[in-house]
Amino acid sequence: MKVSLITVTYNSASTLQHTIDSIAEQYYSNIEYIIVDGNSSDETVSIIESNSHIVSKWISEPDKGLYDAMNKGIQMATGDIVGIINSDDFYHRPDALSRVVEGFSDPDVDCVFADIRFVSPEDLEKTVRYYSSKRFNLGAFSWGFMPAHPTFFTYRKNFEKFGGYKTDYKIAADFELLVRFLYKHQLSYRYLNFDLMKMRLGGVSTASLKSTWIINQEDLRACRENGLKTNYIRLYSRYFRKFLEYIPLLH
């Protein structure tokens, strides 16, 4: 089974090599690694070029944002299954992709997902938050919860059949895609009980109060567009549970 991994970059020179190295260290070898760069002005392209033995395909050109770039990568993919790894994320275990592929050993499984560790950018061994997908069920979408998106893998044919990321979403197109795939179209899924990767803390969705407002607007829209009832009270109540994810890690 060929695995297509897609990384979207823009001025990612400070972290991209670490991401590439984590893919090179995987036990699983049948990997197609695609990088879609948004016409970076730093050393990102030079890093891509110097890793031609790992990077299968790449482009560097202006895009219409993160989700447009992800869709470009999906269109370039030829693998059986597709996953996204951000340019500041990395696999901290060499068996990560082997276990993902094993998760598809049941032909009735359409998608797999796992857990993720948020780590301090200053100390990558320091886990700041642990996001577990274990308790996920379809009803959780109405509360704004989803499986950890960077750990989500599905068959390429599902993108061809049900579409890619909606580019008119600013922050929550990943949430919308998962609602559409898992809730609306009822794709079967398997939870893999381990932490698949590490993610440096930060990002657009956690950047400000304005981002919080936008993401909840878009989560509400995503649910309604895919036939799932919810409301703002439900969506905002999730932040108490998010806080609990930090408590065991506080010293």
Residue 93, judged by CB atoms within 10 A of its CB (0-12, 13-18, 19+), counts as: middle
Question: What digits encode the pLDDT tens for the residues 109-122?
Answer: 999 999 999 999 99
Residue 107 pLDDT grade (very low, low, confident, very high; cuts 50, 70, 90): very high
Angle value at C-alpha 244, between 239 and 248, nearest 5 degrees: 155
Integer-rounded Cα radius of gyration of the chain: 17
Instruction: Please list, in sequence order, all residues whose beta carbon lies within 8 angstroms of the beta carbon of residue 73, skipping any fewer than 6 positions away.
Output: 6, 7, 8, 34, 35, 36, 84
For residue 232, give its domain range: 3-249
pLDDT tens digits for 26-39?
999 999 999 999 99
Q: Is the pLDDT of residue 250 over 70?
A: no
How many domains does the chain fold into? 1
pLDDT of 239 > 70? The answer is no
Give the model confidence (pLDDT) of 127-169 as tens digits: 999 999 999 999 999 999 999 999 999 999 999 999 999 999 9
- Region at 165 (left for phi over 0; alpha for psi -120 to 50; beta for the rest): beta
What CATH number corresponds to the domain at position 222? 3.90.550.10
Say what the pTM is.
Answer: 0.91
